[in-house]
A = this chain, B = another copy of it.
Amino acid sequence: MRIAIVGAGALGLYYGAMLQRSGEDVHFLLRRDYDAVSRNGLRVFSINGDFQLPKVQAHRTPDTIGVVDLVLVGLKTFANVHYRELITPLVGEGTEILTLQNGLGNEEVLAEVFGGERVIGGVAFLCSNRAEPGEVHHLGAGRIVLGEYRRLEAARIERLAALFSRAGVPCQTTPDLTRARWEKLVWNIPFNGLCALVQQPVDQLLAKSATRKLVRELMIEVISAANTQGLLSPIGERFADAMLDFTDKMGVYKPSMQIDREEGRLLEIEAIFRTPLCYAEKQGIAMPRVEMLATLLEQATLV
């Protein structure tokens, strides 16, 4: 399968490398890592075993890639304004576009530009970091949950799931992409938000009863909003407790937004906070603590 990786940060590099290793024809659209990757290929340091791809098809522009079967979008969401210029040269008649980006609203914008029938959404549970150019660290997890944006055809996402599974990436499908996205937000909103704001890893938030209570209250707000979004089945409050238990086991873990802030990068506040707030408001539901957290993050990271 001819695949283009658009947005080759840690996520794009890792999944692209896994797909190439399994024999797919993968093309990477690169900026920072272009020189290193075209010269020396890609090194993956993974909890599942390190590996190296000495020859990688690296590109500076989408025009030299041309039409592909699958576009895998791993852009940071604030780069979505560049969808059109980055993806258009890659799209032919049968091209599918899979976004593994964070938060909400990505499928909607892709559908607007390229047509909803092409768009597949995926929720990635991946812990990875970029290091030196041409290197990517896979620190934990990696599972993907795929869903159709338009909830039409199950066969297509099953084929895509098989592609990832063959490549060693655990991959499931869901009939309810919206639910999968909101479930991830139940974790992402409190932990990415609070850890980035107070600049402490998850264990420090969980150690004190006041912050643990706040984390759970944020989760409950997100769950309440999720359940107004036409899910096939509602998310229960027990999901919040399961997420707390799950996070307790993570130890001294820094969410990506905390690392982004430490390193002075832009934060994905629109996709992870403002768009969910907007979708909730459309259904007449407020998330006062989530809104406060978004506002504080924006204010604290003003330049």
**Chain A residues engaging chain B, CB cutoff 8 angstroms:** 194, 197-200, 204-205, 208, 210-211, 213-214, 217, 288-289, 291-296, 298-300, 302
Q: Tell me if B289 and A197 are in contact (CB < 8 A).
A: no
Known: A198-B300, A211-B295. 20 other contacts (CB 8 A): A194-B296, A198-B296, A198-B299, A199-B300, A200-B299, A200-B302, A204-B302, A205-B299, A208-B298, A208-B299, A210-B295, A210-B298, A213-B295, A214-B296, A217-B288, A217-B292, A289-B289, A289-B292, A292-B292, A292-B293
Question: Which B residue sits closest to A200, measured CB to CB?
Answer: B299
Q: Would you mind naming 29 contact pairs between A and B with Cβ atoms under 8 Å apart? A: A194-B296, A194-B299, A197-B296, A198-B296, A198-B299, A198-B300, A200-B299, A200-B302, A204-B299, A204-B302, A205-B299, A208-B298, A208-B299, A210-B294, A210-B295, A210-B298, A210-B299, A211-B299, A213-B295, A214-B291, A214-B295, A214-B296, A217-B288, A217-B292, A288-B289, A289-B292, A292-B292, A292-B293, A296-B296
Tell me the smallest distance from the CB of A209 to a CB of chain B, in Å. Answer: 10
Rounded to whole angstroms, the CA-CA distance of A211 and B300 in the bound complex is 11
Number of copies of this chain that the complex holds: 2
Docked complex Cα distance between A204 and B303 (Å): 12
**What separation, in Å, do the CA atoms of A237 and B126 have in the docked complex?**
47
| Least distance between A110 CB and chain B CB atoms (Å) | 27
CA distance A199 to B300 in the complex (A): 8
Closest 6 CB pairs of A and B: A210-B295, A198-B300, A198-B299, A214-B295, A211-B299, A289-B292
A292 to chain B, nearest CB (A): 5
Q: Give the chain B neighbours of A294 by CB distance below 8 A.
A: 210
A38 to chain B, nearest CB (A): 43
Most central of A198, A205, A302 by chain B CB within 10 Å: A198
Measured between beta carbons, the chain B residues less than 8 angstroms from A296 are 194, 197-198, 214, 296
Compute how far the CA of A235 lies from the CA of B87 in the bound complex, rounded to whole angstroms.
57
A107 smallest CB distance to B (angstroms): 26
In the assembled complex, the CB of A25 is this many whole angstroms from the nearest CB of chain B, namely 46
B residues within 8 A CB of A199? 300
Q: For A213, give the chain B residue with the smallest CB separation.
A: B295
Q: Which residues of B contact A217 (CB under 8 A)?
A: 288, 292
List residues of chain B with CB within 8 A of the CB of A197.
Answer: 296, 300
